[in-house]
């Protein structure tokens, strides 16, 4: 690894900025290889800072052309250009203007940070520290300035010129070039700066805010893709309305634009008034996007829009506070979707994602608190923990203070912190007294890593008609390892379920509102008026991001699945039944082959059959109930010495067993839900389609008999005849994974239909990357070298390699180490161009320490080989350092 791994940045060492920037005037003369950037920064010393030294501006990979102070060119000895910085030795004590001219080569920018070209479109990405690749600047989120941006470009290659705020002018210059001037009156940190310029087409829509202002919403894309932007523009308007109605927050700009780009490292970016998206989160029409794509577009467009208040108007003091904007904004977009679609289905989806991504991250070498306390490269901390656990922490806060107080707290937050760069403590202080013990206790959710576990046991006293429930909390592994002992505060939504469903009970004689608050290591709660021995349902609606350990029989789980009224709890009972069966199947007896039969299978089949017969149940819910937990989740439940082959076999056995038991009812239910209505991505149709496809998918998993053969025929018909991508992509998946004899034919057919649409072909790449067969490694290597992957576009690479590491554990963790070696090799190749992409892929190794010894040794060998490279980026080196600390590098597995 490189010697120059940067120093760790620590939260405890925060100091306020020594200089403030009041205004930034930028002038870009765009050129693919020689872009000139002129920045005029109006600077002054920060009266709150005690520092009186030189002015240090961040800068990376910049060619400095000239530097002037208040209009006079500076003598070379007045400043120093050093790696990562420009130092002005003796800045004036008064306000002054620094004129900086830099030259950039956007065409050579493969890291996709700063100014780069995507499909001929000039674009920027500045969060977290990309602005320093455009000009020298105090690149930190607590320096807020107004911006005026002038863009000059060739009229043919970049007729459309966009930036933040309002457009002041736009004209053709005497030399034929185009020039536009934009002004953003809202002070913002530089990470929210954006510029987009290219041959773009647009769709516009004018909306009136509730106070009567007119806002012009615009969607931009290359002309051949603009017709696919209608849904995103519509989602933007709905998000705007929702923020007005639910949070009382209005759009504060006259123009609000969204742009679709092909090459983008993340999903999207909330630049002020100019949100930029990975095109996969904007482009949609029925032939190319699935229902899931539509839902993702809706939620990502809303997420970026909601950042305008939670992130932009109120921003982060430093990058340790990232969850302040991300966790809160995820919470807001989750609520938006829950209210626009089925709340229970949304909650189940969010919990699934949290458990799959965040719980596994927290149980791995990459575990960190929602608010980390040190980092080398902040880009490595845009994680499931910061985003999704961050959202759960806000949800718990609402549960603890109550919905009304939460709404008042949010109003106070907007009033108190607007226009400022603040901390998690500032946020929490709007809900809880900062001096109170509860405040400090709640802060543990931000400061402590690991997933806590709640252990529950109960006793029923028939005579006294009472039930005593004892809850105990255990630290997550990370916290336990660091010797922490303070108890956390955990809201545990609880119900007692009897033969007729939820019981109306009291808590210590008073009415029970459904929420238990566990704020010490152990507590007992006495329920009164309990007419019969109950089944206790805990953590309903997933009220806290914890694991619950409670002894339950299969019969009790089946009863919960049938009688619970909370959708999440109902689904979770079925999920627990499935997981127990899968874990038992994977463990098997000594030497036994993995398999599932007998009681667990019967119980599950019975519960699912009852669900299929109940037409009052939301079809989207039934579809989720039919899903079998993924291999990574089963691995998590097993904990250690994981053998992915046994997990795969166990999962297959359960699907096969269920298909054999339910084959005919599955196809019959599918018939019942059949419909020939024209495609629309609305929630009702989406739910029905997801059920039909889940039924067919499970039926395809059967072996022998008429139903599996019929199911596979139907899948083929779908692939060929479907009038929408949801059904076609589902059919492709079924045929590729469940029907090897038609796999090649199915893939060829799909390629014939969609071969010239890279975004659609990502689905084709992804499904092949999940084939759990030995040939997949060689196929990935060949696909990576093919023309389709030549541009190394993040979307292509994620579809191919990311999917492989996350969704194909049996091949990624192959016993001979070929999967590990392949990914390590591709990470090394990618790292030279795009460290962010490389580091993300490398994180796919996170759980290697929980593999069985043979595979663990192979994983370690691959990571060790990677660590021998002298040229790794700081970002990838940091991830590798977590995965493979020096201390374990030379130890036996």
The residue from 279, 326, 392, 426 that contacts ligand B3K (CB under 6 A) is: 326
Report whether 817 contacts 862 (CB < 8 A). Answer: yes
For ligand B3K (CB under 6 A), the number of binding residues is: 12
CA dihedral 17, 96, 76, 151 (to 10 degrees): 90
Query: Taking Cα atoms as reference points, which of 99, 379, 403 lies closest to residue 246?
Result: 403
Residue given tokens 């092909």 in the structure block: 262
Q: How far apart are CA 204 and CA 200, in angstroms?
A: 13
Handedness of CA 630, 634, 639, 640 (dihedral sign): negative
Q: How far apart are CA 255 and CA 234, in angstroms?
A: 15
Binding mask 210-249 for ligand B3K (x = CB under 6 A): ----------------------------------------
**Structure tokens given for 707:** 């139903």
Which among 301-309, 444-452, 464-472, 554-562 is the span making contact with ligand B3K, rule CB under 6 A?
301-309
Which among 34-42, 262-270, 467-475, 869-877 is the span making contact with ligand B3K, rule CB under 6 A?
262-270
Please report how the helices 874-883 and 853-867 are oriented relative to each other, as an axis angle in degrees rounded to 10: 150
* Closer of 382 and 848 to ligand B3K (Cβ): 382
Q: How far is the CB of 836 from ligand B3K (least distance, A)?
A: 6
* Helix, strand, coil shares, percent, the chain, to 5: 45, 20, 30
Binder of residue 180, out of Zn ion, ligand B3K, none (CB less than 5 to 8 A by kind): none
Q: How far is the CB of 190 from ligand B3K (least distance, A)?
A: 13
CA dihedral 597, 598, 604, 606 (to 10 degrees): 130
* Closer of 294 and 388 to Zn ion (Cβ): 388
Which among 139-147, 268-276, 670-678, 792-800 is the span making contact with ligand B3K, rule CB under 6 A?
268-276
The catalytic residue among 129, 270, 298, 304 is 304
* Closer of 389 and 689 to Zn ion (Cβ): 389
Report whether 585 contacts 595 (CB < 8 A). Answer: yes
**Structure tokens given for 744:** 């090649």
Binder of residue 397, out of ligand B3K, Zn ion, none (CB less than 5 to 8 A by kind): none
Query: Taking Cα atoms as reference points, which of 186, 310, 314, 323 lies closest to residue 243?
Result: 310
- Residue 268 in contact with ligand B3K, rule: CB under 6 A: yes
* Closer of 378 and 747 to ligand B3K (Cβ): 378
Binder of residue 382, out of ligand B3K, Zn ion, none (CB less than 5 to 8 A by kind): ligand B3K
Q: Which residues contact 874 (CB under 8 A, 6 or more apart)?
A: 2, 4, 5, 6, 376, 377, 835
**Structure tokens given for 373:** 């306390």
* Closer of 326 and 392 to Zn ion (Cβ): 326
Q: How far is the CB of 307 from Zn ion (least distance, A)?
A: 6
Q: How far is the CB of 284 from ligand B3K (least distance, A)?
A: 19
Q: How far apart are CA 823 and CA 426, in angstroms?
A: 42
Please report how the helices 598-613 and 619-626 are oriented relative to each other, as an axis angle in degrees rounded to 10: 170
Q: How far is the CB of 129 from Zn ion (least distance, A)?
A: 16
Binder of residue 128, out of Zn ion, ligand B3K, none (CB less than 5 to 8 A by kind): ligand B3K
Which among 182-190, 267-275, 454-462, 759-767 is the span making contact with ligand B3K, rule CB under 6 A?
267-275
Q: How far is the CB of 373 from ligand B3K (least distance, A)?
A: 19
* Closer of 243 and 304 to ligand B3K (Cβ): 304
Q: Which residues pair with 66 in a beta bridge?
A: 101
Binder of residue 127, out of Zn ion, ligand B3K, none (CB less than 5 to 8 A by kind): ligand B3K
- Residue 146 in contact with ligand B3K, rule: CB under 6 A: no
CB contact burial 625-646 (16+ within 10 A = b; e otherwise):
bbbbbbbbbbbbbbeeebbbbb
Q: Which residues contact 867 (CB under 8 A, 6 or more apart)?
A: 1, 880, 884, 889
Q: How many helices (H) and strands (E) does the chain have?
A: 31, 34
Q: Which DSSP category does 387 fall into?
A: I
Binding mask 348-387 for ligand B3K (x = CB under 6 A): -------------------------------x--x-----
* Closer of 265 and 364 to ligand B3K (Cβ): 265
- Residue 60 in contact with ligand B3K, rule: CB under 6 A: no
Query: Taking Cα atoms as reference points, which of 709, 596, 705, 704 lies closest to residue 657?
Result: 596
Binder of residue 557, out of ligand B3K, Zn ion, none (CB less than 5 to 8 A by kind): none
The residue from 304, 356, 362, 566 that contacts ligand B3K (CB under 6 A) is: 304
- Residue 442 in contact with ligand B3K, rule: CB under 6 A: no
Q: How far is the CB of 325 from Zn ion (least distance, A)?
A: 6
* Closer of 276 and 826 to ligand B3K (Cβ): 276
* Closer of 127 and 633 to ligand B3K (Cβ): 127
Q: How far is the CB of 114 from ligand B3K (least distance, A)?
A: 12
* Closer of 268 and 632 to ligand B3K (Cβ): 268
- Contact residues: Zn ion, CB under 5 A: 326, 329
Q: How far apart are CA 528 and CA 505, in angstroms?
A: 6
Q: How far is the CB of 276 from ligand B3K (least distance, A)?
A: 9
Residue 633 annotated to the active site: no
Using DSSP, state whether 218 is helix, strand or coil. strand
Ranges of H-type helices in 375-447: 384, 390-401, 403-417, 424-428, 437-447
**Structure tokens given for 700:** 């395809």
The residue from 127, 377, 727, 738 that contacts ligand B3K (CB under 6 A) is: 127
Neighbours of 522 (CB within 10 A): 11
The residue from 249, 303, 742, 814 that contacts ligand B3K (CB under 6 A) is: 303
Binder of residue 35, out of Zn ion, ligand B3K, none (CB less than 5 to 8 A by kind): none
Which among 264-272, 591-599, 790-798, 869-877 is the span making contact with ligand B3K, rule CB under 6 A?
264-272
The residue from 104, 239, 259, 269 that contacts ligand B3K (CB under 6 A) is: 269
Residue given tokens 């970026």 in the structure block: 304
Cis-peptide, bond into residue 128, ω within 30° of zero? yes
Q: How far is the CB of 386 from ligand B3K (least distance, A)?
A: 9
Binder of residue 269, out of Zn ion, ligand B3K, none (CB less than 5 to 8 A by kind): ligand B3K
Query: Taking Cα atoms as reference points, which of 101, 31, 49 lies closest to residue 73?
Result: 101
Phi and psi angles of residue 92, each rounded to the nearest 5 degrees, phi first:
-65, 155
Residue given tokens 């992509």 in the structure block: 729
Q: How far is the CB of 124 from ligand B3K (least distance, A)?
A: 12
Is residue 463 packed enough to be buried (19+ CB in 10 Å), middle (13-18) or exposed (0-12)?
exposed
Handedness of CA 778, 779, 784, 787 (dihedral sign): positive
Report whether 577 contacts 645 (CB < 8 A). Answer: no
Which among 14-22, 263-271, 536-544, 760-768 is the span making contact with ligand B3K, rule CB under 6 A?
263-271
The residue from 100, 128, 219, 489 that contacts ligand B3K (CB under 6 A) is: 128
- Residue 564 in contact with ligand B3K, rule: CB under 6 A: no
The residue from 266, 302, 843, 866 that contacts ligand B3K (CB under 6 A) is: 266
Q: How far apart are CA 190 and CA 140, in angstroms?
A: 7
Query: Taking Cα atoms as reference points, which of 585, 581, 531, 537 lies closest to residue 562?
Result: 537
The residue from 58, 142, 270, 362 that contacts ligand B3K (CB under 6 A) is: 270
- Provide the CB-side half-sphere exposure for 564 (13 A, CA): 27
Which among 65-73, 266-274, 433-441, 799-807 is the span making contact with ligand B3K, rule CB under 6 A?
266-274
Residues in the site for ligand B3K, rule: CB under 6 A?
127-128, 266, 268-270, 303-304, 307, 326, 379, 382
Residues tagged active-site: 304
């Amino acid at each position: 690894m490189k010697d120059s791994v940067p120093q760790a940045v620590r939260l405890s060492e925060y100091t306020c900025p020594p200089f403030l920037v009041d205004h930034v005037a930028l002038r870009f003369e765009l050129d693919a290889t020689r872009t000139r950037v002129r920045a005029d920064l109006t600077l002054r010393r920060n009266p709150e800072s005690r520092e009186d030294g030189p002015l240090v501006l961040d800068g990376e990979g910049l060619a400095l052309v000239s530097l002037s102070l208040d209009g006079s060119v500076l003598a070379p000895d007045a400043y120093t250009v050093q790696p990562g910085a420009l130092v002005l030795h003796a800045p004036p004590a008064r306000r002054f203007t620094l004129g900086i001219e830099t030259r950039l080569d956007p065409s050579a920018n493969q890291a996709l940070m700063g100014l780069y070209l995507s499909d001929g479109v000039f674009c920027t990405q500045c969060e977290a520290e990309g602005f320093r690749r455009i000009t020298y600047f105090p690149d930190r989120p607590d320096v807020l300035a107004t911006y005026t941006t002038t863009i000059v470009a060739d009229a043919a290659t970049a007729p459309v010129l966009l930036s933040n705020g309002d457009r002041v002018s736009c004209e053709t210059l005497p030399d034929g070039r185009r020039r536009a001037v934009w002004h953003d009156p809202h002070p913002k940190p530089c990470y929210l700066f954006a510029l987009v310029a290219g041959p773009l087409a647009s769709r516009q829509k004018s909306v009136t805010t509730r106070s009567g202002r007119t806002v012009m919403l615009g969607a931009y894309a290359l002309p051949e893709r603009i017709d696919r932007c209608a849904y995103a523009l519509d989602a933007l308007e709905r998000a705007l309305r929702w923020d007005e109605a639910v949070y009382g927050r209005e759009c504060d700009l006259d123009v609000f634009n969204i742009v679709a780009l092909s090459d983008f490292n993340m999903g999207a970016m909330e630049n002020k008034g100019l949100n930029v998206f990975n095109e996969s989160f904007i482009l949609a029409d029925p032939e190319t996007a699935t229902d899931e794509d539509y839902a993702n577009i809706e939620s990502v467009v809303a997420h970026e829009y909601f950042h305008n208040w939670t992130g932009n108007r109120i921003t982060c003091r430093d990058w340790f506070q990232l969850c302040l904007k991300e966790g809160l904004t995820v919470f807001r977009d989750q609520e938006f979707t829950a209210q626009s679609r089925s709340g229970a289905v949304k909650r189940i989806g969010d919990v699934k994602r949290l458990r799959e991504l965040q719980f596994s991250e927290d149980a791995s070498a990459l575990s960190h608190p929602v608010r980390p306390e040190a980092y080398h490269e902040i880009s490595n901390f845009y994680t499931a923990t910061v985003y999704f656990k961050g959202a759960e922490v806000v949800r718990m806060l609402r549960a603890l203070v109550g919905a009304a107080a939460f709404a008042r707290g949010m109003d106070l937050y907007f009033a108190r912190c607007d226009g400022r760069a603040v901390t998690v403590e500032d946020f929490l202080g709007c809900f809880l007294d900062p001096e109170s013990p509860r405040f400090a206790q709640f802060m543990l959710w931000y400061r402590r890593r690991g997933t806590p576990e709640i252990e529950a046991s109960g006793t029923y006293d028939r005579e006294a008609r009472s039930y005593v429930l004892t809850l105990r909390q255990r630290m997550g592994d990370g916290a336990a390892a660091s010797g922490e002992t303070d108890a956390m505060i955990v809201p545990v939504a609880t119900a007692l379920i009897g033969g007729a469903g939820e019981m109306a009970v009291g808590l210590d004689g008073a009415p029970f509102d459904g929420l238990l608050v566990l704020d010490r290591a152990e507590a007992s709660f006495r329920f009164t008026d309990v007419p019969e021995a109950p089944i206790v349902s805990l953590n309903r609606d997933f009220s806290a991001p914890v694991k619950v350990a409670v002894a339950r029989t299969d019969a009790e789980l089946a009863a919960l699945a049938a009688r619970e009224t909370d959708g999440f709890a109902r689904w979770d009972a079925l999920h627990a039944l499935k997981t127990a069966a899968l874990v038992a199947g994977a463990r098997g007896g000594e030497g036994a082959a993995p398999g599932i039969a007998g009681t667990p299978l019967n119980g599950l089949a019975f519960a699912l059959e009852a669900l299929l017969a109940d037409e009052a149940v939301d079809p989207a819910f039934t579809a989720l109930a039919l899903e079998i937990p993924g291999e990574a989740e089963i691995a998590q439940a097993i904990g250690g010495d994981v053998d992915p082959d046994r997990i795969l076999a166990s999962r297959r056995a359960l699907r096969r067993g269920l298909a054999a038991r339910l084959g005919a009812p599955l196809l019959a239910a599918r018939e019942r839900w059949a419909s020939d209505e024209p495609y629309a991505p609305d929630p009702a149709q989406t739910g029905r389609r997801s059920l039909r496809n889940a039924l067919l998918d499970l039926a395809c998993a059967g072996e022998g008999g008429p139903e599996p053969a019929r199911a596979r025929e139907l899948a083929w018909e779908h692939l060929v005849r479907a009038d929408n991508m949801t059904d076609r992509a589902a059919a492709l998946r079924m045929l590729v994974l469940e029907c090897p004899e038609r796999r090649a034919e199915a893939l060829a057919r799909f390629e014939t239909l969609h071969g010239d649409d890279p975004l659609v072909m990502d689905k084709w790449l992804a499904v092949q990357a999940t084939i759990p067969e030995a040939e997949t490694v060689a196929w990935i290597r060949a696909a990576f070298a093919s023309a389709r992957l030549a541009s190394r576009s993040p979307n292509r690479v994620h579809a191919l390699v990311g999917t492989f590491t996350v969704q194909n554990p049996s091949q990624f963790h192959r016993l001979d180490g070929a999967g590990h070696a392949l990914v390590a090799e591709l990470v090394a190749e990618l790292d030279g161009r795009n460290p962010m992409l490389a580091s993300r892929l490398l994180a796919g190794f996170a759980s290697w320490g929980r593999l069985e010894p043979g595979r663990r040794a192979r994983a370690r060998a691959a990571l060790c080989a990677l660590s021998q490279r002298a040229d790794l980026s700081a970002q990838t080196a940091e991830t590798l350092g977590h995965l493979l600390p020096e201390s374990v590098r030379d130890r036996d597995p």
